[in-house]
Chains A and B, each alone.
Chain A
Amino acid sequence: MLSYKTVKIMKKYTYIILCLLVCWTTACKKLDVPPINVVQDKDIFTSTGGIQAYMARIYSELPIEDFRYSPQRGLNFFWIISPFPAVTGEALSRDQTGAMQENVDESPWGDSYKLIRDVNYFLENLPKYASTFTPEQVNSWLGEARFIRAATYFALVKRYGGVPIVDKVLQIPASNVDDLNIPRSSEEAVYDYIAADLDFAYTNMSETNQAGRANKYAAAGFKSRAMLYAGSIAKYNQITLVDATGNRVCGIPAAKAVTYFKAAYDAAVLLESKYTLYKNGWKAGDKAAQYQNYVDMFFDKNSSENIFVRQYHYPESVHGYDAYNVPRQLMGGNGYSSEVNPTLNFVEMFDGLPKNADGTIKTMTAGKYDLYTNTMDLFANAEPRLRATVILPGDVFKGQSIEIRRGIYTGSSAGGISPLLPAGSTANYPTANIVQSSNATQTPYTLPDGSKMNPAGLSGVFSGDGTAAISGFSIRKWLAPDKPTSEVLENRSDQTWIELRYAEVLLNRAEAAYELSALGQNDKNYLQDAFTAINQIRERAGADMLASEANLNSVDIVRKERRKELGFENKTWWDMRRWRIADKEQNSTVYKILMPFYSANDKKYFFDSRTDERNARYTFDVRWYYEQIPNGEIQKSQKLIQNPGY
């Protein structure tokens, strides 16, 4: 029997607990919880910080072939072990053994249209918030967005020919799905669209901008590039694809060549006196200074030559150029090295090397190898630009002599050394009289004087291991000259990619001028103009100068200059395509290499010029001049037609 008091207390507990429960449940949450992590238009378009964040996104998506591009992996990829120069014949790489077009699966088609949508959205929405900013700011940003759109369409047109032009934000879900089935425009129309965007950009953008963003001259420079492409297609392309409505989606009428070359020329002229070739450390007649100047150009943030760059910054936005490409003896912790090894074909283009009558490198006299005390002796007079582009065997990089040696020749030295292999042989080197190493773990060979020497150099060449200078050369261009080996790692490099420099604009101008001259245009002295531009480049390079206009008697002189100057800058492939010479250059082609050997008895080096020991053959398929449009896209849109041959 409970007392009255106890019952009362118990009741009190009951009420207290019930009250607490009611309190909890009345502390009701609302279902409309705003998302914590979604930013809205008003946060973006009402401050320069917001605009900068928008720009940061669209610049990061901009399809340019920089350190993070390879045809196999596409754009914006870190693992670049099948590098672009190993497709063009500029270099050999252990991971690339033949010609290729871009991997269709990595095609930039989809990503480019995403970027175009982002740009169109910006163009349509920024004006709604225009009152926040000055008209100059707004116009400059609109110009900048159109520059990006033009650069994106250029990335598409140079791959596919005519592509669908999307000039507004497409509404989805569409009232009519057919509105999204946009057919390809003619190739010509796409180039005209690019020209119009770039003209708008040039007119509206400011003269300067943050490094990493474009200014009005970048727009003009890009226009010279794009129009030169268009002119080349008009002049050299043989492929035609016309759709049902009569649009020529592949190819440009030859008659338009003059128009486009003129546009390229005029755009290039706009940059005159605004930018100059980098010559800060350059001295006339001083090869060492010219060499150092050329090296420095790629690392001087204030270079007067840089028009449009993509910057990197560790740790947020990085690449691995140094890790993949340093010579073997400077290999970093990831175990990569020497992915880009310049071919002898590339090296032979340069001045200052002993040459045979046919322009090939001279390594023999009267059927016997020439002997040199040091490997660099062969290159004693090499053009400074070559040394700044390619690490030659024995040249110094990061304070080390880069040791490249194929093996030790132990045969007799009496009467000179005969060729190790018959001319043109693609066989492996014989093992008799040659000591070699299969990899970097070497067993030293005891020389006749008792001293020891590794059969191969510290940077190769090894018989069974491709992580070495397999061509006899290693790449120097872009390699950071002062990066400690501990930082030579994947995703650890952050040197700037120079997408457009004044040398290219000069070369665009020279080529456009030459072509105009060749097409009989004489409203000014185009040949004279081209001659001046080429010699400007050559002078800075320390190369032999063209004596007179008359010496500029072939388009090949302009093209070769371009390939030397812009080598390893991921431009050559596109040049080979627009000139329509890739199929002729790569026709079961085996590229050449230069193998240094040490003769034990002579205590001297000799060089064997031969074809790629791996016997890798390159053949460019003519249909690749227009890339395959991703099949998925063809399936999705009935109005999209595929390029010929796929």
Chain B
Amino acid sequence: MDEIFTYCGECRGIYYGVKMKKAVQFCITSFLFLLMCSSAFAQNKPVTGTVSDDAGALPGVTVKIKGLDVGTVTDVNGKYSLNAASGQTLVFSFVGYANQEVAITTQQIVNVKLAQNSSSLNEVVVVGYGTQKKATVTGAIASVSNSEIVNTKNENVLNSLTGKVAGLRVTQNSAEPGSFDNSFSIRGFGDPLVIIDGIPRDNITRLDPNDIESVSVLKDASAAIYGVRAANGVILVTTKKGKKGSLELNYSGTYGFQVPSGLPKAVGAIDYMTLVNEQLLHNVSGGQVKYSEADFEAFRNGSRVSTDWYTPVIKNHVPQSQHNLNATGGNENTQYFISMGITNQDGFLRSGDLNYKRYNLRSNLSTRINKNLTVDLNLNATMDQKNQPYQDAWNIIRSFWRQIPTEPIYANNNPDYLLKGSVDGTNPVSLSNSDVSGYKVYNNKWFQSQVSATYTVPSVPGLSAKGLFSYDYYNSSNRLYQKAYNQYVYNEQNDSYTATAYQTPATFRREFFERPATLTQLSLNYDHSFGNHSFTGLLMYEESNRQQDNFYAQRELALAVDQLFSGSATNQVGSANSGDIYNYVNKSIIGRVNYNYKSKYLAEFSFRNDGSSRFSPLKQWGFFPAGSVGWRVSQEDFWKNLSALSFINDLKFRASYGKVGDDSALAYQFLTGYRYPANGDYNQLPPGSVFDGTFVNGAQSLGIANPNLTWFNAETYNIGLDLEAWNGLLGATVNVFRRDRTGLLGTQALTLPGVAGADLPQENLNSDRTQGFEIELSHRNHFGAFNYFVKGNLAFSRTKNRTVVQARAGNSQLNWHNNNNDRWNNIYWGYGAAGQFQSYQDILNSSQFVSRNAVVGDYQYQDWNGDGQITSDDVHPIAYNSAPLTQFGLTLGGSYKGFDFNTVWQGATGVTVSYIEQLNIPLWGGGSALTQFMDRWHPADPNADPYNPNTVWVPGKYALTGTTADVNSMFNIQDASYVRLKSAEIGYSISPNFAKIIGIKGARIFVNGYNILTFTGLKYLDPEHPSSTYGYLYPLNKTFSLGVNVKL
């Protein structure tokens, strides 16, 4: 052995020396090549010809010389001309047709007739732990490729998937830079498992879209191979691999502007004072106005100026850019894909202090070490940074909506003195500026690595063994600087400014999180055919370990330096969040067998035996089997012989059943013990007590253990069909599905008397059912040189509770209201709308009890039980209250010569929004009002008594200021259905000849828009804007960008 190593060592030294020299040479030559490639090609003889199909000449067909990536496109008459040397091969390709290759010998005219094909059937789709041909897939799997993803330009890959996959629901909640605030699910199931290059990973939102090869969505039992984490379906992301051939450099970049989509403004001074007076007069016992005619006059004649709080805080156009440069190439044995990307996004704050930056770096290498052994190495490094003012964006929005327009930004309009606003004492100009009030910086870093080796067993045809090891490390390191500052009040009596200090003492906080994870796979793969029988098989052992740890430290600053070391010794804080520390191990044995007979009868069976350390030793292991069958009826002889059916190229029926699990139950509930330090905070129960002047952490009982707690199970059923007709003119996929979950977690809290006095553990008590359907249709065709395609999808799903452990209801009415057994989930209970009082006569004639406070324009709620009064008994189901029930998307694109366009339409119905606070109540909490509330019933004469029957009214949408729509009523709940042009792109590619002249392989420029047009019945806000965070969330954006793709 020693001998061998010595020998090898010497030999390696020499070898490396040679290799290094070669590498340098290669670098230099490739650099020169890049500079001078305009002259890099030899002069060849011209070849011309016509391309046609059964119907005649085919324009727009790409003609290329194989391996060189130079070529042309046929003209409207199907004619082409290019230079080629003998020995080269021409490749003719056109969407919807089979490629054809013709070797050039001596001929100068090459006419070609292309045959249409059903190319999509030959596509390969990524499935769990492998790939399959689309034609023989038996599960409900949807897949999108890179080209479909990148035509929606967004900083977040999830937003680029919106509307493109039937059953994948993506809702964007906010476009705040760095927040990546989306809700997404498959078929409305819940948070799906995301697998990136075979490993469960959490950074899908931070991927560079240019690095993605494809995204597969496993919607049914095909997800079951992921076992205990797969109940909500699985999203598989595959990144690009290297391609054989000479180095190819691709640059793509976009630069654009973002505009807020639905960010209401507050009223000006005159409107504000009008509303305030109106509200004060809206008092049945008599009211007094606050603002006199003189006050109004001062604003009208300009002696006082109304403050617009929007403009000093918000900028309506802010930039965003993305750049990616990648290189791919390789030889027979080694291929590489190397990519780097930079993403920049500014926020709408005028201060410029809210922004985001991301760097992506990826290297995917594949090398064949010998005939039987291939090694793959994938490395990914992602780093991002979010900068924001110390106060969160939603709080700044809340503040600038609330500020009163009669107050200036600066006390006495002196720019040295920021005003201490009379509402909350806040001033949004201070809050939005890091220089005034400090900042928060969030840094995330992902390092992800995986190495795998595949060994083809030489003695058994079709058998290979594979080992994979991955090590991922996530780290976040945050800096939070709470800066002290002053705001002022001007005192006219003695011309002085009174300062109020904010955020004192200044503090600085550092937070540190880390998440290392390892995953090991060892597998055997088998793929072989015996005559008409084809088998593939997989047997795998997988083990993963995920850990998390954290700590933080905070000090009050002795010096105005934003570092921990400049803190003083008093009130130091340093600890870790114990809830955020974990160490989980999963082990699994996974198997799958696929069988098909003549690609006609298809069957698949898979299982996973999963073990999770999060449960008691009694309940650690679970078995999750799945099976599916398919029948390609179009492959049957009788079908092929029926000419009437020949327009259908492919028709497949399939059905699947699988059992999956969900381990999101709180870990370790099988143990009794204590949480130390106790949960709690200064807003409610503190985490301990103060004894002798020192804070002592409390030990909080974890309550009662449940040793039997385990994951809940989901059984999924899916039947579907895939159809392709007229050689790709029409494609259709239909799925109908059901998922039954049992053992959903619930506690007996509702049924156990409070005197038991303990926090009950979760138990596997409840069950529900989700069902729905999806339809996907596609069509592509061309008219002359104009190619186009349409892909549409529609998905519906809804969940019904089946068993919900429930307390005995006190009476039948309560039972009706509270008993959720066998009832649709997410029902909005509230009051129905029965119009608004149009006149005093209406009030007098009302069939319901009307309080003496009522005025014209007031909301009339539906007297559901008809007892003549509105009480809590009139509450009934009025709306659905969750993610949209129906979502649909339509991609329409095409090309004409060098031009191409692509539009994505997307929409949802069966969705409502309802808001509270300022989006529901004008002048909420003594603040200002949003402009929408000017659209209200009010007396024509602002000083008129609204209780005087002779008052003349002006109608509006809202009731008179001072009357608020019940939050849980149809006056406040609004339909948020919408259709929007999610993205549109128009591009122009320069001709190959021109590209050659300027020395590149190709180039394309494009303009792209995101969220361009929205059609919705919802006024004033973006329909996707969520009601969470009191509706103050940072808005969605519209983006308009210009971009370029260059191939070198």
Contact = CB atoms under 8 A, between A and B. Distances in A.
Contacts of B425: 331-335
A56 B501 contact: no
Contacts of A9: 8
A571 interface: no
Interface stretch (A114-122, A264-272, A412-420, A505-513): A114-122
Given A32-B617, A78-B684, A313-B690, A636 B522 contact: no
Given A444-B492, A615-B285, A486 B690 contact: no
Interface stretch (B560-568, B695-703, B827-835, B913-921): B695-703
B694 A313 contact: yes
Contacts of B702: 38
Closest 5 CB pairs of A and B: A57-B698, A117-B757, A335-B425, A486-B501, A21-B467
How many residues of A sit at the interface, in one of the four size bands? 35 or more
Nearest to B493: A444
Interface in B391-441: 407, 420-426
Interface stretch (B220-228, B648-656, B675-683): B675-683
Interface stretch (B47-55, B88-96, B307-315, B367-375): B367-375
21 contacts: A12-B4, A13-B370, A14-B455, A30-B585, A35-B668, A35-B671, A37-B581, A38-B673, A38-B674, A39-B675, A57-B699, A59-B689, A61-B685, A170-B756, A170-B758, A211-B691, A317-B695, A335-B424, A636-B750, A636-B752, A637-B755
B691 A212 contact: yes
A442 B491 CA distance: 8
Contact of A333 (B501, B578, B698): B501
Interface stretch (A47-55, A222-230, A472-480, A559-567): A47-55
B467 A24 contact: yes
B246 interface: no
Interface in B520-547: 520, 522, 541, 543, 545
A24 to B, nearest CB: 5
A428 interface: yes
B543 A29 contact: yes
Given A486-B484, A491-B682, 8 more contacts: A21-B469, A79-B683, A311-B690, A311-B691, A313-B695, A632-B807, A637-B755, A640-B753
Given A38-B673, A444-B493, A166 B755 contact: yes
B675 A316 contact: no
A180 B585 contact: no
B668 A210 contact: no
Interface of A: 9-14, 17-18, 20-21, 24-25, 28-33, 35-41, 43-44, 50, 52-61, 76-79, 109-110, 113-118, 121, 164, 166, 170, 172, 177, 180-182, 210-213, 301, 310-318, 331-335, 428, 438-444, 452-454, 463-465, 484-487, 491, 494, 615, 630-638, 640
Contacts, number: 296
A347 to B, nearest CB: 27
Nearest to A314: B571
Contacts of A331: 425, 500
Interface of B: 4, 8, 280, 285, 288, 290, 369-370, 372-373, 375, 407, 420-426, 453, 455, 467, 469, 484, 487, 489, 492-493, 500-504, 520, 522, 541, 543, 545, 571, 573, 578-579, 581-585, 587, 611-613, 617, 620, 667-668, 671-676, 678, 680, 682-702, 704, 750-760, 807-810, 814, 926
B755 A180 contact: yes
A439 B423 CA distance: 12
B689 to A, nearest CB: 4
Given A24-B469, A57-B678, A37 B579 contact: yes
B149 to A, nearest CB: 33
Q: Which residue, of A116, A491, A637, has the highest number of chain B Cβ atoms within 10 A?
A: A637
A581 to B, nearest CB: 29
B692 A211 contact: yes
B688 A316 contact: yes
Given A486-B501, A637-B753, A210 B758 contact: no
B751 A636 contact: yes
Contacts of A30: 585
A624 B583 CA distance: 52
Given A29-B543, A172-B752, A333-B502, A117 B698 contact: no
A329 to B, nearest CB: 9
Nearest to B700: A57
A172 B754 contact: no
Contacts of B674: 38-40, 43-44, 53
Contacts of A76: 684-686
B758 A172 contact: yes
B626 to A, nearest CB: 23
Nearest to B621: A31
Contacts of B469: 21, 24
Contacts of B285: 615
Contact of B682 (A78, A181, A212): A78
B407 A441 contact: yes
Residue of B493, B520, B699 most packed against chain A (CB within 10 A): B699
A165 B671 CA distance: 28
A41 B674 CA distance: 8
A172 B704 contact: yes
B451 to A, nearest CB: 9
A1 B697 CA distance: 74
Given A37-B578, A316-B682, A316-B687, A29 B753 contact: no
Contacts of B612: 31
Contact of A33 (B492, B584, B757, B810): B584
Nearest to B573: A315
Contacts of A636: 750-754, 807-808
B692 A212 contact: yes
Contacts of B500: 331-333, 485-486
B615 to A, nearest CB: 9
B620 A180 contact: no
Nearest to B676: A39
B543 A454 contact: no
A60 B808 contact: no
A170 B757 CA distance: 8
Nearest to B547: A36
B493 A452 contact: yes
A172 B492 contact: no
B673 A10 contact: no
Contacts of A109: 754
A441 B755 CA distance: 53
Nearest to A42: B673
Nearest to A213: B691
Nearest to B615: A31
A311 B504 CA distance: 22
Contact of A37 (B675, B756, B758): B675
B668 A318 contact: no
A247 B668 CA distance: 43
A10 B369 contact: yes
Contacts of A32: 613, 617
A395 to B, nearest CB: 20
Contacts of B522: 21, 25
Contacts of B696: 52-53, 55-56
Nearest to B818: A635
Contact of A35 (B423, B620, B667): B667
B617 to A, nearest CB: 6
Contacts of A177: 752
Contacts of A317: 682, 686-690, 695
A334 B424 contact: yes
Nearest to B586: A31
A78 B683 CA distance: 5
Nearest to A312: B690
A28 B543 contact: yes
Given A37-B579, A56-B688, A486-B501, A10 B698 contact: no
B685 A180 contact: no
Contacts of A117: 701, 756-758
A183 to B, nearest CB: 10
Contacts of A35: 667-668, 671
